[in-house]
Structure 1
Amino acid sequence: MDRTDILRQLISFPTISANPNGELIAYCADLLQSAGAQVVMIKDPVQPKANLYATIGPDDRAGVMLSGHTDVVPVAGQDWTVPPFEMTEKDSKVFGRGTTDMKGFVACALSAALRAASMDLKTPLHLALSYDEEIGCIGVQSMIDMLAKAPFRPKFCIVGEPTGMKVATGHKGKTACRVKCTGREAHSALAPTALNAIHLACDMIAAIRDIQREISRTTTPDNDYDVPYSTLHVGTITGGVALNIVPNSAEFAFEIRNLSEDDPQDILDHLDRAAQDLLTPLRAQFPEANIEIETTGSYPALATGPDAEVVSFVKSLTGLNATIKVAFGTEGGLFSTRLDIPTVVCGPGSMAQGHRPDEFVHADQLAQCDAMLDALLERLAAGI
């Protein structure tokens, strides 16, 4: 089965993060096992979701791992002109949810694995397919736990997120947080006698914005990024039940996207101090006043040195000399930090097309990815 047929099948599975990915993983497992690959499925203990880890070639030495996620973002509320879960080819583009982010790469990787199965590889090829990446690199954690106990870890990892087939050596880390603010309710006619939790939340948001301004003013910029410093961003806010009631609770969510040089815990410590500064003058009159900051998810930044062996290796496969850094996060930071696997990001397409209606990947990008993986198979057959 060629890459186009595989991609058509992958797109047909509506693996939005809220949905199971079991049917897609079963399809991939059947495809790989029928070719003779060693396949391990790591099931989620609660949801009908799973990771897949496959090996083609010898199992007594380190190989090269191709990593990709199987979940996609929702299509609800978007104005699509083509069916999002059917593959459409026109104008040298391939349309469908996940074509860029990142079923296009997964299809190329599966196709390469099938080709590899008929070769005498001296160095193994590994495929790592995970779930729930789009909501914080959650699913891959159990695969990392498995690899941490394995007798051999991959020598290199290529995460196939869309980079236009350029070799990316870095991405920012992410920390997601929820802030719960507690005040005291009252009739709105007596508002000054109460403690408005929405106002308290707004004061905390002002503190977040102050920290952001300070970071942007004082940080040594990393100009390889579109935004060359760590960022804070408030994404949602809720609170209150009626206009004539002073709200006693409010909640908002924010994230930190940090450069590898910046420790997000330092930023959280700064915010904790800001919260205490807000609460201290209120507690005498409102002892129940509170601001609780809870971390709901995180993954580390990726910071692979430009002179690392994995960088020169993957550049030799693509034929390109330059490297880039990408604004979005990947599981690459986890492979690098938790398992010490040298990692880069390199895959077909552009994230400018990801998460949008009529998502597409250029056909020539898929062809370039196939060529890179063909070059990889030649190196694995020779024994890197």
Structure 2
Amino acid sequence: MSQTLSARSLEFAQTLVRMNTVSSNSNLELIDFARDHLAGLGVRSRLTYSADKKKANLFATLGAGKPNGIIVSGHTDTVPWDGQDWTVDPLSAMVQDWPQEGLRADGEVERAEPRLYGRGSADMKSFIAIALANAEHFIESDSPYAVHFAFSYDEEVGCFGVRELIADMKEQLVKPVACIIGEPTNMVPAIAHKGVYRYKCCVRGKEAHSSLTPQSVNAIEMAARVVNKVRDMADGFENSERRYEGFDVPFSTASVGQFHGGIADNVVPRDAEFRYEFRNLPTADAAAMQREVVAYAARAEEAMKRVAPDAGFTFETICEVPSFLSTANEPITKLAQRLSKEQRTTLVAFGTEAGIFKSAGIPTVVCGPGSIMQAHQPDEFVTLAQLARCEQFLQGLSITRDIR
């Protein structure tokens, strides 16, 4: 196996990075590219579409007819770059040498080496590109394992597409033995991450002139009480929750990300809205956290309704991405360690689709090129050395005889 990235894989990575698949846009340009490339190799793809038909998942089996299969999974959408201070075009897919070595803020050495720049270069189009560029290896392999490509939409906004993909996979009676998700872990297999649960709370009060506050229900003030409850819960996690060592923040967190309300200084506000999230440890119950917030709001609502019967709180789920927890002894973890030539495993702070695959009964590991420190940042990049390691990993997967 080559120790350097092939020109074909780099070309594919640049091609995908140049496609604008921000989550608010369609991803069909990328999906069509992948489908057409696989069709040229004689592989049929199944597409499952979003309700508006502007986005799709792709599922394709390379080595069809083999009794077992391993999923190679990636999401096709990216986060936006609006307002970020980029020094290169986010869609340029430019390769440029980093000219000097130095220490990063986290103490790690930043080496002088070629980098691929652009939105999605690390998170996570390069992994998808390398899988596609090496598709022939999986098709021609005499390995007893088929490989299933599973490329999803809308991961960045709540892991929505992958649920449809898995449902379709089950409908087709596809039963993979394992899944590898190529999120950026510096090619170190990750065996756990926190969950991500986001909610919107809308508060309806009763407006009045600000000189007549006893006749009103101040929606902002009532919202603030629930916001303070979320803050108190966050303090409780930090002060009292049992630590899960290995995470950079070894306890669950809670935070409020948006708050809106009011129309004028002298009008008691009728409406307010805020959004908040929990990032729960794999050992913590996110549903119980949300129930605690809703129960607190219900108690506060009693006094509101005495003034205005239609006053109160409503909650909406924005996204629920379950936590992921595996072990270093899981066969797919051990396989990922062998393929990546890593003796260690890691835990990651960011959410992925891993918990959803695992909940579907599929043993899963997260392992892909690049660092999460570059993901979502201006001048996002991945080193060509990391991409070469990923290519070696996937070529090794294509000749795997046993995942145990």
TM-score bracket relative to the smaller structure: over 0.9
Cα distance in 2 for residues equivalent to 1:383 and 1:61: 14
1:276 counterpart SS class: helix
Q: Aligned residue for 2:352?
A: 330
2:373 counterpart SS class: coil
**Aligned positions of 1:286-301 closer than 5 A:** 286-301=308-323
Cα distance in 1 for residues equivalent to 2:84 and 2:306: 49
Cα distance in 2 for residues equivalent to 1:17 and 1:353: 18
Aligned residues: 382
Cα distance, 1:229 vs. partner? 1.2
- Stretches of structure 1 that go unaligned for 5 or more consecutive residues are none
| Aligned residue among 29, 38, 42 for 1:36 | 42
Q: Aligned residue for 2:52?
A: 46
**Aligned positions of 1:213-252 closer than 5 A:** 213-252=235-274
1:99-118 deviation digits (Å, cap 9, x = unpaired)? 00001111111122133233
More off after superposition, 133-142 vs 188-197: 188-197
1:74 counterpart SS class: coil
Q: Aligned residue for 2:370?
A: 349
Cα distance, 1:198 vs. partner? 0.7
| Aligned residue among 100, 109, 131 for 1:109 | 131
| Aligned residue among 382, 387, 392 for 1:361 | 382
**After TM superposition, where is structure 1 displaced by more than 3 Å over at least 4 residues in a row?**
118-121
Q: Aligned residue for 1:197?
A: 219
More off after superposition, 42-51 vs 322-331: 42-51
Cα distance, 1:65 vs. partner? 0.9
More off after superposition, 362-371 vs 273-282: 273-282
1:286-338 deviation digits (Å, cap 9, x = unpaired)? 3333122222221211111221111111111111111111111111110001x
1:280 counterpart SS class: helix
More off after superposition, 55-64 vs 265-274: 55-64
Cα distance, 1:84 vs. partner? 0.8
Residues 164 and 347 of structure 1 are in contact (CA less than 8 Å); yes or no, is this contact kept in structure 2? yes
Q: Aligned residue for 2:20?
A: 14
Cα distance, 1:38 vs. partner? 2.9
Cα distance in 1 for residues equivalent to 2:370 and 2:63: 29
Is 2:343 the partner of 1:321?
yes
Residues 58 and 122 of structure 1 are in contact (CA less than 8 Å); yes or no, is this contact kept in structure 2? no
Q: Aligned residue for 1:285?
A: 307
Cα distance in 1 for residues equivalent to 2:403 and 2:121: 32
**Matched letter for residue 71 of structure 2:** M
Cα distance in 1 for residues equivalent to 2:21 and 2:307: 51
**Aligned positions of 1:298-317 closer than 5 A:** 298-317=320-339
Residues 121 and 383 of structure 1 are in contact (CA less than 8 Å); yes or no, is this contact kept in structure 2? no
1:88-143 deviation digits (Å, cap 9, x = unpaired)? 01111110110000011111111221332333343101110001000000111110
Cα distance in 1 for residues equivalent to 2:304 and 2:141: 71
2:400 counterpart SS class: helix
Cα distance in 2 for residues equivalent to 1:45 and 1:279: 36
1:284 counterpart SS class: helix
Q: Aligned residue for 2:102?
A: none
Cα distance, 1:202 vs. partner? 0.8
Cα distance in 1 for residues equivalent to 2:257 and 2:180: 31
State the percentage of identical aligned residues: 37
2:347 counterpart SS class: strand
1:236 counterpart SS class: strand
- Stretches of structure 2 that go unaligned for 5 or more consecutive residues are 1-6, 98-113
Cα distance in 1 for residues equivalent to 2:96 and 2:327: 39
Is 2:64 the partner of 1:58?
yes
Is 2:279 the partner of 1:273?
no
